[in-house]
Structure 1
Amino acid sequence: MEQYNCNLQNQLQVNNRPLEIYLFFDPFCTECWSLTPLIKKLQLEYGDYFTLKYVLCGQLAALNNKRRFDFANYPRLKKTSEKSTIPLQVSSGFDQDTLTPHLAAISIKAAELQGKRAGTRFITRLQELFFVENADITDINIILQCAQYVELDMDEFISDIYSASAAKAFQCDLKISSEMEITEMPSLVFFNENIEDEGLKVTGLYSYRIYVQILSELLEGYPSPSEIPSLEIFLTKNPIIAVNDLALIYDKPVKQMEQQMKKLQLQQKVKKIRAKNGIFWKYIAHSI
């Protein structure tokens, strides 16, 4: 991990935060989705102490299915792909509308080229589409809808999907996951300011207090948590969420959070969504 530590030192100095966390994930992985509320809570309470980097893991077998795409709706994409150094993949049974495998992964790296926050918003929405709305996130039409939803620059995003930059970023993620010997998802690797220290790898899911304990040990003292925003403010930035996740984030019983969501439902600020992976709440108010 020595080669990464040099880059980490520069990042930590720029961000003025003592820790860097690499999150290795697969957008199709249920356990990675289950880690999401833990990460959100960690960022809300201790985000001043670390920066978070999403790294796509190398075991993305589900992305190998090729998908058909209607270029008529997106002529700019067709023009871009014709000039691209990354050609569209064509296989028997498909015509030129067939798309490259790993498109969902490439699209994540393309979104991240517009900034870390843009990339995070895109990843969150992509997982919502897959786990809540049962959408096919290997379909370019769904991917472009996702990009529009999180308000990416669409011309830039469409160009970047087939750029060498996005492809190299994806290959870099695969190389990092391989060299760090990531074999299980999700995995977190914690780095501190001392470039001589190896990263601390944590594989699988644990309770929230375990992650706080790890931060405390690396910081050599218990960090002071920030106050979590009010429920409605939180929902404006996280509009689709399960009540169990809210209970975890706010340290309240599930029944109590359920009652709060029902009150917001009566005020027509949220609505209940029944999905194959459970029941979720969606914030629909335009203002607080």
Structure 2
Amino acid sequence: MNQPHLVYFADPMCSWCYGFAPVIEAIRAEFGHRLPIRLILGGLRPGTTTPMDDAAKTRTRAHWDHVHEASGQVFDYAFFERDGFVYDTEPACRAVVWARRQSSEAALGLLDRLHHAFYGENRDITAPPVLATIVSEAGFDPAAFAAHFTDDELVKETERDFQISQQTGVTGFPTLIAGNGRNSDYALLTAGFQVKQRIVPVLARWLDDQQGSAQEESAI
């Protein structure tokens, strides 16, 4: 991007990303097109094949409790009554990559909808038929989604996102970085959850600084 922008590393099945969703929404509302967001799907647990056992459920529930305390986001704990659930994040990530082909805004919107479906509504977003229903609810064409969801190119595009996360050194989600569009320098804004009262003012100052620097350069 040739303007100040953000790069957001997230996953539809990351509870801390769900907690961070209102912060992303606040950023979009505050800055709009002045500060576009590029979404990279992190791949929290892609390709998982082992069902969750009781120990995994206990660890996951503890994470959910912490996210609720920090963010106020609502969780449906009936999830933990599921038997044999396989926590494979790749299908949901792939669905968001498909939406991103239409626009960055579309991808962010679907990511938010998937967060609420999984955490707030206890819907199995690892299942393609469920994903197709949610895609339809979000205003997308479910037939187009179904026609392309298993395409090799979409699978590879999703894998490239995972590789970008690894190559960038991102080790957890959410991670948010800022770029000025004029060089390859990026600034880490947060690696992990932060409340909007901390993030939005920092971003406002950073954006003012970037715009001031750009004006100075244009005057030279």
* TM-score calculated relative to the size of structure 2: 0.70
Match 1:64 to one of 33, 45, 48: 48
Q: Which residue of 1 aligns with 2:202?
A: 214
SS in structure 2 at match of 1:200 = strand
1:48 aligns with 2:33: yes
- Inter-CA distance 123–176: structure 2 relative to 1 (3 Å threshold): same
Q: CA 1:204–1:218 in 2, change beyond 3 Å: closer, same or farther?
A: same
Query: Larger Cα Rg: Structure 1 or Structure 2?
Result: 1
Q: Deviations over 1:196-244 (max 9, x none)?
A: 4234352112232332343234334499xxxxxxxxxxxxxxxxxxxxx
Superposition deviation, residue 146 in structure 1: 0.6
Task: Give the Cα separation in 2 of the matches to 1:220 and 1:111.
Answer: 31
Q: Which amino acid aligns with 1:25?
A: A
Matches within 5 A, 1:103-114: 103-114=91-102
Instruction: Give the conservation status (yes or no) of the 8 Å contact 1:58–1:178.
Output: no
> Residues 166-212 of structure 1, C-alpha deviation per residue, up to 9 Å, x if partnerless?
12221221111011100121110111122142343521122323323
SS in 2 for 1:151: coil
In structure 1, give the amino acid aligned to 2:40: V
The structure that is helix-richer by fraction is 2
AA of the residue aligned to 2:173: M
Structure 1 unaligned residues grouped into runs of 5+: 1-10, 13-17, 68-99, 224-288
Residue in 1 aligned with 2:132?
Answer: 144
Could you tell me which runs of 5 or more consecutive residues in structure 2 were left unpaired when the two chains were aligned: 52-87, 212-220
Identify which of structures 1 and 2 has the higher relative contact order when contacts are C-alpha pairs closer than 8 Å and 6+ apart.
Answer: 2
The reply on whether 1:160 has 2:145 as its aligned counterpart is no
C-alpha contact 1:118 1:152 (8 A) present in aligned 2: no
Task: Report the alpha carbon displacement of residue 32 of structure 1 after superposing the two structures with TM.
Answer: 0.5
Q: Secondary structure at the match of 1:64?
A: coil
Structure-to-structure mapping, 1:179-194, within 5 angstroms:
179-194=167-182
1:36 CA drift (Å): 0.8
In 1: Cα distance, 2:113 partner to 2:200 partner? 26
Separation in 2, partners of 1:48, 1:187: 20
CA contact (8 A) 1:216 1:222 kept: no
Change in Cα spacing, 1:169 to 1:201, as seen in structure 2 (3 Å) is farther
**Pair 1:30 & 2:18 matched:** no
Distance 1:121 1:52 in 2: 12
SS at match of 1:128: helix
What is aligned with 1:231?
Answer: none
Q: Which amino acid aligns with 1:64?
A: T
Q: Which amino acid aligns with 1:181?
A: G
Name the Cα RMSD after superposition: 2.6
Q: CA deviation at 1:136?
A: 0.9
Quote the sequence identity (%): 22
